[in-house]
Amino acid sequence: MAFLKDYITEVYQGVRSLLKGMKLTGYYFTHRKEIITQQYPDNKAEMKLPERFRGEVVMKHDDHNEHACTGCTACELACPNATIKIITKFDITPEGKKKKALDTFIYHLELCTMCNLCIEACPTDAIKMAQNFEHSVTDRSKLTKKLNNPGSKIREGVE
């Protein structure tokens, strides 16, 4: 009889789990508010992207046109496909010492896979992922971007 009991429990549990699945899809079928489709070009004004959506790498600049990049090249080393190229220069501090600083932050959008490794590698939180995804251009060279604004300099106190 033990065999029969196992058999019936198996059937019962199978049916139960199937009905559980059908309950969920049935809930979705009857509740239109759950629909997550965004009708993209039509809803450009009120489109809401998920928080973690990654569109491109940008450098954060504050109101005084200052960024937090020290030119340490941690992001360049972290990048798996050589998307980032950092050109450094030497600033002269008021004490007369030479100090390494960022000259140009070159970002090749056409090579980037949005893997987020550079943002995680950055010790000073100088770069972040932006949500802009409309990247189409007519020429490939337009995808190579300079991330630091012209005339920007490193924020005071960022080491």
Partner 1 sequence: MFSIENITHSIDAWLNQTLNPTMVVLVESVIVGISAITLFAVLGLVLVLMERKVSAYMQIRLGPNRVGPGGSLQTVADTLKLAMKEGLTPDGADKFLFNLAPYLVIGVAMLILAPIAFAKGFQIWDINIGVLYISAVSSLSVIGILMAGWASNNKYSLLGAMRSGAQIVSYELSAGLSILSMIVLTGSLRISDIVASQQDGWWIFKGHIPAIISFVIFIIAVTAETNRAPFDLAEAESELTAGFHTEYSGMKFALFFLAEYVNIFIVCAIGATLFLGGWMPLHIGHWTAFNHVMDYIPSSLWFMGKTFSLIFLMMWFRWTFPRLRIDQLLNLEWKYLLPISMFNLLLMTLIAIKGWHF
Task: Confirm or reject binding of residue 47 to partner 1 (CB under 8 A).
Answer: no
Measured between alpha carbons, how far is 33 from 25 in angstroms, rounded to an integer? 14
> Which lies closer to partner 1 via its Cβ, residue 39 or residue 141?
39
Let me know: does 152 contact 105? Beta carbons within 8 Å: no
Which residues in 75-86 are b (16+ Cβ under 10 Å) and which e? Answer: bbebbeeebbeb
Q: Applying CB under 8 A, which of residues 12, 18, 104, 133 lies at the interface with partner 1?
A: 18
Task: Confirm or reject binding of residue 21 to partner 1 (CB under 8 A).
Answer: yes
Task: Considering only the stretches 28-36, 70-78, 112-120, 141-149, report the one whose residues sit in contact with partner 1 under the rule CB under 8 A.
Answer: 28-36
Task: Confirm or reject binding of residue 24 to partner 1 (CB under 8 A).
Answer: yes
Task: Confirm or reject binding of residue 29 to partner 1 (CB under 8 A).
Answer: yes
β-bridge pairing 153-154 and 66-67: parallel
Task: Confirm or reject binding of residue 25 to partner 1 (CB under 8 A).
Answer: yes
Let me know: does 55 contact 129? Beta carbons within 8 Å: yes
| Contacts with partner 1, residue ranges (CB under 8 A) | 11, 18, 21-22, 24-26, 28-29, 32, 34-37, 39
